[in-house]
Amino acid sequence: MELKRQHLIDPVICIRCNTCEETCPVNAITHDDRNYVVDASICNNCRACVPPCPTGAIDSWLMSSRPWTLEEQFSWDDLPPEAKLEEGLESGPEPAEVTAIIDVATASTGGRVPPPFSAAHPYVNVYSRESPATARVAGNFRLTDPDAESDIHHVVLDFGIRPFPVLEGQSIGIIPPGVDDKGRPHNIRLYSVASPRDGERPHHNNLAVTVKRVRAKDDSGKLIEGIGSNYVCDLKKGDQVLVTGPFGDTFLMPNHPEANIVMICTGTGAAPFRGFTERRRRKAPDAAGKLLLFFGARTPGELPYCGPLMKLPPSLIDVNLAYSRVPGEPKQYVQDKMRERDTDLAALLKSEHSYIYICGLKGMEQGVEEALSDICRLHDLNWTEIRAQLRREGRYHVETY
């Protein structure tokens, strides 16, 4: 009987972030409301999807006499035991070939962008669903105004003496307790770390996350409550939380003080940029590199960290806020604010020390790209070439959901 290797995704540690589906150059990856799966009839084992996966769930392989179907994969709560045996073993091309494949993928499909050259080396996947870290809630504060529609929380998790090393820009997973209506454990929820590497409280083994309570009505008017976000937003001081990760090894801040960091975000997408800004403020407030923030929210009352942000000195950070739903005022998005700053952005795009980060709503990506493209046209720059160079050099990072 001939055995063939099949590429699979481990449903236990997959955080359903869609990165693999977006990265796959041959569209072999798809999903339903439960699992991400690989179509064996399309997958060519190129591994372009493996490096960008934040958890490593994608790096799972099965030797089998016949391919597992999509239907079978959709039904899994866990990989079949034989798949686990083969995980990471003889799983693909040699490292040199992998690098070549990734380069091709980056050029042609928008695949992996390396981290900034001066970023600190991150720890990833230290804690898994099977072996999570337990954190204690040190604080939970509502960030949005009492009368604001959005309920956004700043939650501080303390790890005591358990090591949980994170860098700004990384994410953690939180496991909501209990099971779903089919009796299966809930999926892990992923949140960006909103504090700097030396802790939300300096020199403490803790970190912060920024979480928006999901409460929406479906087409029939039925109220849908987000399991993970409601769990986190309702946590009380002293509660214990199961945490996985850290995840992410590319969306990291440059360490060298000459680095100009352009941060573009909407809503809770501001989380990693709070970490970046706080790191600069604590460690290099007089750095030569600029911090330039474009931040979009519906109203000032819905903008997380609005108060503390406005207290930061202009010498540290150049803040540009865009509000979309202030009564009596025109709707503004981050891309409108970027166009207003075209001369400054064009100057930054010319510098080899400039880094661009985009985080937040998926929909903003296109508008932001168009704004950058228009700004380049206005200033005799070629956005297509600049973008490719920025990506190659680890200077253009996007994290949108």
φ/ψ region of 332 (left if φ > 0, alpha if ψ in -120 to 50, else beta) reads beta
Binding segment toward ligand NAP, per CB under 6 A, in 133-141, 236-244, 249-257, 268-276: 268-276
- Does 275 sit near ligand NAP (CB under 6 A)? no
Q: How far apart are alpha carbons 294 and 290 in whole angstroms?
A: 13
Q: How far is the CB of 367 from ligand NAP (least distance, A)?
A: 4
- Does 283 sit near ligand NAP (CB under 6 A)? no
- Does 176 sit near ligand NAP (CB under 6 A)? no
- Looking at beta carbons only, is 304 or 394 nearer to ligand NAP? 304
The packing angle between helices 95-109 and 383-392, to 10°, is 160
Note if 399 is an active site residue: yes
Catalytic residue among 46, 359, 376, 396: 359
- Does 6 sit near ligand NAP (CB under 6 A)? no
Which of 61, 127, 164, 191: binder of ligand NAP (CB under 6 A)? 191
Binding segment toward ligand NAP, per CB under 6 A, in 138-146, 180-188, 208-216, 281-289: 208-216
Note if 333 is an active site residue: no
Note if 128 is an active site residue: no
Contact 232, 135 (CB under 8 A): no
Dig out the tokens for 27 from the structure. Answer: 């569209």
Site track 348-367 with ligand NAP (rule: CB under 6 A), x = hit: -----------xxx-xx--x
Q: How far apart are alpha carbons 301 and 229 in whole angstroms?
A: 20
- Looking at beta carbons only, is 361 or 388 nearer to ligand NAP? 361
- Does 268 sit near ligand NAP (CB under 6 A)? yes
- Looking at beta carbons only, is 64 or 230 nearer to ligand NAP? 230
Catalytic residue among 168, 200, 278, 399: 399
- Does 106 sit near ligand NAP (CB under 6 A)? no
Look at residues 4, 21, 25 and name the one whose alpha carbon lies nearest to residue 57.
21
Note if 60 is an active site residue: no
- SS3 letters across the chain: CCCEEEEECCCCCCCCCCHHHHHCCCCCEEECCCCEEECCCCCCCCCCCCCCCCCCCCCEEEEECCCCCHHHHHHCCCCCHHHHHHCCCCCCCCHHHHHHHHHHHHHHHCCCCCCCCCCCCCCCCCECCCCCEEEEEEEEEECCCCCCCCCEEEEEEECCCCCCCCCCCCEEEEECCCECCCCCECCCEEEEECCCCCCCCCCCCEEEEEEECCEEECCCCCEEECHHHHHHHCCCCCCEEEEEEEECCCCCCCCCCCCEEEEEEEHHHHHHHHHHHHHHHHHCCCCCCCEEEEEEECCHHHCCCHHHHHCCCCCCCEEEEEECCCCCCCCCCHHHHHHHCHHHHHHHHCCCCEEEEEEECCCHHHHHHHHHHHHHHHCCCCHHHHHHHHHHCCCEEEEEC
- Looking at beta carbons only, is 67 or 173 nearer to ligand NAP? 173
Number of residues located near ligand NAP, criterion CB under 6 A: 26
- Looking at beta carbons only, is 8 or 172 nearer to ligand NAP? 172
- Does 269 sit near ligand NAP (CB under 6 A)? yes
Which of 30, 255, 324, 373: binder of ligand NAP (CB under 6 A)? 324
Note if 191 is an active site residue: yes
Binding segment toward ligand NAP, per CB under 6 A, in 2-10, 60-68, 264-272, 306-314: 264-272
Catalytic residue among 36, 191, 305, 323: 191
Binding segment toward ligand NAP, per CB under 6 A, in 32-40, 41-49, 174-182, 295-303: 295-303
Q: How far is the CB of 319 from ligand NAP (least distance, A)?
A: 16
Which of 4, 184, 282, 325: binder of ligand NAP (CB under 6 A)? 325
- Does 187 sit near ligand NAP (CB under 6 A)? no
Contacting ligand NAP within 133-152 (CB under 6 A) = 150
Contact 81, 52 (CB under 8 A): no
Which residues does the annotation mark as catalytic?
191-192, 359, 399, 401
Residues making contact with ligand NAP (CB under 6 A): 150, 191-192, 210-212, 266-269, 271, 296-298, 324-325, 333-334, 359-361, 363-364, 367, 399, 401
